[in-house]
Homo-oligomer: A and B are copies of this chain.
Amino acid sequence: MTDSPKYTLGLVFYPGMTSLDIIGPQQVLSSLPGVQIHRIWKTLEPVKTDDGMMVLPDTTLANCPQLDVICIGGGLGQVAVEDDPDLLEFLYKQGSTAKFITSVCGGSVFLAKAGLLEGYRAATHWAARDRLAQLDVTVGTERVVVDRNRITGGGVTAGIDFGLTLASILYGEEIAKITQLLMEYNPAPPFDTGSPEQAGAELVEKAMLFMQGMMPDLAIAQ
């Protein structure tokens, strides 16, 4: 157990992030042999996620080692931090040496703002597709988009599909299949409303209003 890690993986934790964006892939990737995970933010103080939970980073932007994989998720609070120069510089710097540059949900907006998606296709949460396109990124609507070493997942729950895809790239299909089995990832969504195309325009409009109603809680998250 004292072997040096095979892959060093950095997950960015920021106030107002969507916990499931990052905990989906974390659950997949933490189980792989030789993966060392860094949970990264400006300080080691607790960070409040957009579902109200407090989580602790273990690595700062300043003291983070060179990563093999960098990953950032989205969140209801992302707008408040996505132009942060320290964060964007960190992403750009890690991105210049990382083997894989990755995101889940609205996290691809951070990658684009850090200049890491020029000339690439990427996925994002359906509600962020226009914003990503405005940053000159070719938006893919697949669940997970793999374009060379950029691997990006769609909204929130797509982090699990993203994690398994990355596990397969790093460790091969059999290990990824075993991980899927251990997570009992045999999903049975109770409704067929998981994408805007399935849900239809009326429900999409209601969902946008509903999401705005979730925003006030973010005053606490910052």
* A-to-B contact residues, CB < 8 Å: 1, 18-20, 23-24, 26-27, 30-31, 33, 37, 39, 46, 51-56, 58, 105, 125-127, 143-144, 154-158, 160-161, 164-165, 168, 173-178, 180-191, 193-196, 198-199, 203-204, 206-207, 210-211, 213-214, 216
A58 touching B54, Cβ below 8 Å: yes
Q: Which residues of chain B have C-beta atoms less than 8 A from A173's C-beta?
A: 191
Would you list 14 pairs from A and B whose C-beta atoms are within 8 A, ordered by A residue?
A19-B26, A30-B52, A54-B55, A56-B56, A143-B186, A155-B183, A155-B184, A157-B184, A157-B186, A160-B187, A177-B191, A178-B206, A180-B189, A180-B194
**Across the interface, do B31 and A51 meet the contact criterion of CB distance under 8 Å?**
yes
A90 to chain B, nearest CB (A): 20
Interchain CB contact under 8 A, A196 and B181: yes
Q: Which of B18, B164, B183 contacts A27 (CB 8 A)?
A: B18
**CA A8 – CA B55 in complex, angstroms?**
21
User: Do A207 and B185 touch (CB < 8 A)?
Assistant: no
For the A-B complex with A155-B184, A158-B188, A181-B194 known, give 19 more contacts whose Cβ atoms are closer than 8 Å.
A27-B51, A31-B210, A53-B56, A54-B56, A155-B182, A155-B183, A157-B185, A161-B187, A164-B189, A174-B206, A176-B191, A178-B193, A178-B207, A180-B194, A181-B195, A182-B207, A183-B194, A184-B194, A187-B189
